[in-house]
């Protein structure tokens, strides 16, 4: 699933580049949208982000693409690869950030529960 975000001046740090906390917030939000689309009617909580790799700086006015794809399904958890890129002046995609986000399926009380069989995204 792809989502896009326009970087505004309010998203920048004191050096004029994208504040890393904003990137992490967007990554979690867009991966959460993907897991909810893949597994409708289920509740999920974020449990981990790993291998955070900020590869390039980002300035105001840039449009970022967030590509989220399911890479692992377990009994009660799923993991998504998230790649963030932008277009270069030559029109090619340049990856600027990557990570994995893990979610656990929970019930209404916040207790871990198994993902339903035969529903949602297919096992990877």
Tens-place pLDDT, residues 16-58: 999 999 999 999 999 999 999 999 999 999 999 998 889 999 9
pLDDT given at position 122 = 55
Superfamily of domain 2-106: Hotdog Thioesterase (3.10.129.10)
Task: Delimit the domains of the chain by residue range.
Answer: 2-106
Nearest-angstrom CA–CA distance, 113 and 33: 19
Give per-residue pLDDT as tens, 50-85: 988 899 999 999 999 999 999 999 999 999 999 999
pLDDT given at position 118 = 65
Q: Is the pLDDT of residue 119 over 80?
A: no
Q: Is 49 exposed, middle or buried (0-12, 13-18, 19+ CB in 10 A)?
A: middle
Element spanning 6, H or E: strand 2-6
């Amino acid at each position: 699933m792809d989502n896009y975000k326009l970087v505004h001046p309010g998203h920048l740090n004191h050096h004029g580049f994208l504040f890393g906390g904003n990137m992490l917030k967007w990554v979690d939000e867009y991966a959460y949208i993907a897991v909810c689309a893949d597994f409708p009617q289920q509740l999920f909580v974020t449990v981990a982000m790993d291998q955070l790799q900020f590869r390039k700086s980002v300035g105001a006015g840039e449009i970022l693409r967030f590509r989220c794809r399911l890479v692992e399904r377990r009994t009660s958890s799923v993991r998504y690869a998230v790649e963030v890129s932008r277009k270069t002046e030559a029109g090619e995609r340049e990856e600027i950030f990557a990570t994995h986000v893990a979610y656990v399926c929970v019930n209404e009380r916040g207790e871990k529960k198994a993902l339903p069989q035969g529903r949602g995204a297919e096992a990877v």
